């Protein structure tokens, strides 16, 4: 039995495996399959101040080794989350509230509302599927720094994770911008903007035309970006992008991540997260690793 | 709701572009008519939502039409004894009340399969009148399962078997004779739209099972929504797939 605990911004997680925002709701559905207190934390569905209906359907498409989604931040709004789900979820495991906005004021307000109520805030400045806001803040280093600073000013008591978009010029530059703005941690990668075409109809499959690409096919790009970001900053990094098994998670940890998020794989196997937790334990045992946290950033470059 | 590795018992072609897949769950899993399962296909990240057609003890049968790459691979590569990743049972299913005794069952295309589950479940206690639409004779299958009720009208677009026309047309021609107290339906959206407008003034509840591209299948990812009449979104996988026809925009 390896020690799977990791410490992220001073908060101890029982293991480094976290279901990624948008694939896991607020955890209630998956909890019907297994007790989600087995997870290190849960990243919630992206929350906004007011409820959002999201995009028209189809919202999902598939390509080889990847999926595309364009849900468009449908969510019941932060107040409903606080009222209906927060206490239940906090009793299960650590809560990462993923938050999004259309304006700087939105980000400030939602961070203020959740300050002290959740274990972490994860700033979604990288959603490719909404017209205003979302990724608009997540592309240029200057705007990343600004939205991070305003958000952090409003959540002094809660560690702030900034979720970075991969659709950018320099991931290292953007990670540094988040750190300068006061981020306590960065998570990456969000989805890559892509398109799938229905050639019979000569139309994109997604009603939104474009969507976020995720799944096993993006993993090598994600690992490279996590490596570059982790090298560029002193704050911890949460790695994600195509993780399907414990060995995939180990790649991200070695590349510099302290914890990992698992998204698309939950759709292929609803038990993916607890299997990865068990698999990490087995991998560590088989390799004489006593503490999973000792793997972080141990990659030796050729 | 269970995540299981089932064992394929049979996966055979039963009509044009239509396959019937039976798997063993290892234990009895109760399934209501109208519920569905998510079936994994090796090499594809998304599982396929497929309605349950028969649930007999630990054996579940689903039928599917060849549509895209996933269903082709499912039909070609899965043989008896193979492991199959399945999440089930999912969705609300049909829930007819005791007062709803005379029930018209209206199906089109792959929509007939969840209705076969409904016929099997409700035939002992209700009078069922089935109107089942297929493209042509070559697409007709499982006729014996549809005959468990009071009446079956097979419909084909080209008249090559049974009534020439749609299942909705056949139902409406029969309406006064049958006087149903409820309608259950599943089929392509144009069929459901026709049913909605045809039954609009009848003051009879119409329960439709919807289809949508899905992600998780259990209500977490908010991919498969439909628009409700009140402007809100409902999750087809979790709040549905069965809705009263007036509740949803088609």
Are residues B111 and B55 part of one domain? no
Question: Do B78 and B149 fall within a single domain?
Answer: no
Q: Are residues B58 and B114 in the same domain?
A: no
Sequence length of chain B is 250
CATH of the domain at B114: 3.40.50.80
The domain that contains B85 carries what CATH number?
A: 2.40.30.10
Band (A136; pLDDT cuts 50, 70, 90):
confident
- One domain, residues B108 and B200: yes
Report residue B3's pLDDT band, with 50, 70 and 90 as the boundaries.
very high
- Relative to beta strand A60-63, strand A41-43 is unpaired
Does residue B124 sit in the same domain as residue B81? no
B9 in the same domain as B106: no
Residue closest to A267 by CA, chosen among A30, A28, A18, A17: A30
| Tens digit of each residue's pLDDT (9 = 90 or more) over A11-41 | 999 999 999 999 999 999 999 999 999 999 9
In order of their start, the domains of chain A are: 6-57+74-196+215-295 (3.20.20.70)
B44 found inside a domain: yes
Residues of B in contact with A267 (CB under 8 A): 45-47, 215-217, 221
Judgement on whether residues B164 and B138 belong to the same structural domain of the protein: yes
Determine, yes or no, domain membership for B126: yes
Q: Is B36 part of any domain?
A: yes
Using a CB-CB cut-off of 8 Å, the residues of chain A touching B232 are 53
The Cα A230–Cα A244 span in angstroms is 21
Is some CB atom of chain A closer than 8 A to the CB atom of B52?
A: no
Would strands A203-204 and B242-244 be described as parallel, antiparallel, or unpaired? unpaired
Check whether residue B135 and residue B37 sit in a common domain.
no
The backbone torsions φ and ψ at residue A284, rounded to the nearest 5 degrees and listed phi first, read -60, -45
Shortest distance, CA A257 to any CA of chain B (angstroms): 24
Residue B47 belongs to a domain = yes
Instruction: For residues B111 and B90, give the distance between their C-alpha atoms in angstroms, rounded to a whole number.
Output: 16
* Confidence tier at A126 by pLDDT (50, 70, 90): confident
Same domain, B11 and B72: yes
Residues spanned by the domain of B36: 2-90
Specify if B84 maps to a domain: yes
The mean pLDDT of chain A is 96
- Find the helix or strand (DSSP H, E) in which B105 lies: strand B102-108
**Confidence check: pLDDT of A131 > 90:** no
B182-186 and B163-164: which strand pairing? unpaired
pLDDT tens digits, A40-93: 999 999 999 999 999 999 999 999 999 999 999 999 999 999 999 999 999 999
Please indicate whether, in this complex, the C-beta atoms of A67 and B215 are within 8 angstroms of each other.
yes
What SS3 state is found at B89?
A: strand
Number of domains in chain B: 2
Percent of chain A with pLDDT over 70: 97
Catalytic residues of A: 127
- Residue A134 pLDDT more than 70? no
Q: What is the pLDDT of residue A133?
A: 53
Helix, strand, or coil here: A3?
strand
Q: Answer for the pair A271, B3: CB distance below 8 angstroms, yes or no.
A: yes
Residue B70 reports pLDDT greater than 70: yes
Are the CB atoms for A107 and A99 separated by under 8 Å?
Answer: yes
Chain A positions in Cβ-Cβ contact with residue B214 (cut-off 8 Å): 60
Q: Does pLDDT of A130 surpass 70?
A: no
A161 φ/ψ angles, rounded to the nearest 5 degrees: -100, 130
Residue B184 belongs to some domain of the structure: yes
> Mean pLDDT lowest for which of A109-113, A136-140, A206-210, B175-179?
A136-140
Say whether residue B85 is in contact with chain A using an 8 A CB cutoff.
Answer: yes
B161 is a domain residue: yes
Is B231 inside a domain boundary? Answer: no
Are B75 and B121 in the same domain?
no
Task: Based on the fold, state whether residues B179 and B120 are members of the same structural domain.
Answer: yes
Same-domain status, B37 and B59: yes
CB of A57 within 8 Å of a chain B CB? The answer is yes
CB B134 within 8 Å of CB B160? no
Closest by CA position to B249, among listed B232, B235, B228? B228
How far apart (Å, rounded) are the C-alpha atoms in residues B140 and B165? Answer: 14
Tell me if A264 and B223 make a contact (CB, 8 A cut-off): no
Please report the pLDDT score of residue B130 as a whole number: 98
Alpha-carbon gap: B85 to the closest alpha carbon of chain A (Å): 8
For B226, nearest residue in chain A (alpha carbons): A57
Q: What is the mean pLDDT of the segment spanning A279-300?
A: 98
The nearest CA of chain B is from the CA of A163 a distance in Å of: 19
Give this prediction's pTM.
0.95
pLDDT at A132: 53
Selected residue of B47, B222, B233 to mutate for chain A interface (largest A Cβ count, 10 A): B222
Q: What CA–CA distance (Å, rounded) separates A42 from B40?
A: 25
Per the DSSP assignment, residues forming a β-bridge with B38 are: B49, B87
Domain boundary among B58, B90, B122: B90
């Amino acid at each position: 039995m390896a020690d799977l605990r990791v410490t992220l911004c001073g908060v101890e997680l029982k293991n480094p495996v976290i279901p990624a925002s948008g694939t896991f709701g607020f955890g209630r559905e998956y909890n019907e399959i297994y007790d989600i207190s087995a997870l290190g934390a849960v990243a919630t569905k992206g929350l906004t101040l007011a409820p959002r209906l999201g995009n028209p359907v189809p919202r999902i498409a598939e390509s080889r080794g990847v999926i595309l989604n364009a849900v468009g931040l449908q969510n019941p709004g932060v107040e409903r989350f606080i009222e209906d789900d927060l206490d239940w979820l906090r009793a299960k495991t650590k809560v990462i509230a993923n938050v999004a906005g259309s304006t700087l004021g939105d980000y400030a307000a939602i961070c203020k509302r959740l300050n002290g109520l959740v274990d972490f805030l994860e700033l979604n400045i990288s959603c490719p599927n909404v017209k205003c806001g979302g990724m608009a803040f997540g592309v240029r280093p200057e705007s990343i720094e600004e939205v991070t600073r305003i958000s952090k000013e409003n959540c002094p008591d809660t560690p702030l994770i900034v979720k970075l978009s991969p659709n950018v010029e320099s991931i290292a530059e953007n990670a540094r911008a988040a750190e300068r703005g006061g981020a306590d941690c960065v998570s990456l990668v969000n989805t890559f903007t892509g398109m799938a075409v229905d050639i019979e109809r000569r139309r994109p499959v997604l009603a939104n035309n474009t969507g976020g690409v995720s799944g096993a096919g993006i993993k090598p790009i994600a690992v490279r970006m996590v490596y570059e970001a982790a090298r560029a900053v002193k704050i911890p990094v949460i790695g994600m992008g195509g993780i399907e098994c414990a060995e995939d998670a180990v790649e991200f940890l070695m590349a510099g991540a302290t914890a990992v998020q698992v998204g698309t794989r939950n759709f292929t196997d609803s038990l993916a997260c607890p299997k990865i937790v068990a698999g990490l334990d087995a991998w560590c045992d088989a390799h004489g690793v006593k503490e999973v946290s000792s793997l972080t950033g141990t990659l030796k470059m050729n | 709701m269970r995540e299981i590795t089932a064992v394929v018992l049979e996966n055979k072609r039963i009509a044009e572009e239509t396959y019937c897949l039976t798997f063993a769950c290892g234990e009895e899993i109760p399934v209501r008519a109208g519920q569905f399962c998510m079936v994994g296909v090796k090499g594809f990240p998304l599982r396929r939502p497929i309605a349950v057609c028969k649930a007999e003890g630990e054996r579940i049968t689903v039928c599917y039409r060849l549509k895209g790459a996933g269903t082709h691979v499912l039909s070609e590569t899965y043989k008896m004894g193979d492991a199959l990743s399945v999440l089930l049972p999912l969705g609300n299913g049909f829930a007819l009340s005791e007062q709803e005794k005379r029930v018209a069952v209206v199906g089109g295309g792959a929509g007939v399969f969840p209705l076969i589950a409904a016929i099997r479940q409700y035939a002992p206690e209700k009078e069922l009148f089935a109107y089942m639409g297929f493209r042509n004779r070559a697409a007709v299958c499982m006729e014996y399962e549809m005959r468990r009720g009071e009446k079956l009208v097979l419909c084909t677009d080209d008249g090559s078997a049974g009534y020439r026309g749609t299942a909705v047309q056949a139902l409406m021609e029969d309406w006064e004779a049958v006087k149903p107290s409820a309608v259950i339906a599943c089929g392509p959206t144009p069929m459901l739209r026709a049913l909605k407008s045809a039954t609009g003034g009848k003051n009879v509840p119409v329960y439709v099972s919807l289809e949508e591209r899905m992600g998780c299948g259990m209500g977490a990812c908010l991919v498969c929504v439909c628009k409700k009449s009140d402007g809100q979104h409902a999750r087809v996988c979790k709040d549905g797939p069965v809705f009263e026809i007036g509740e949803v925009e088609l």
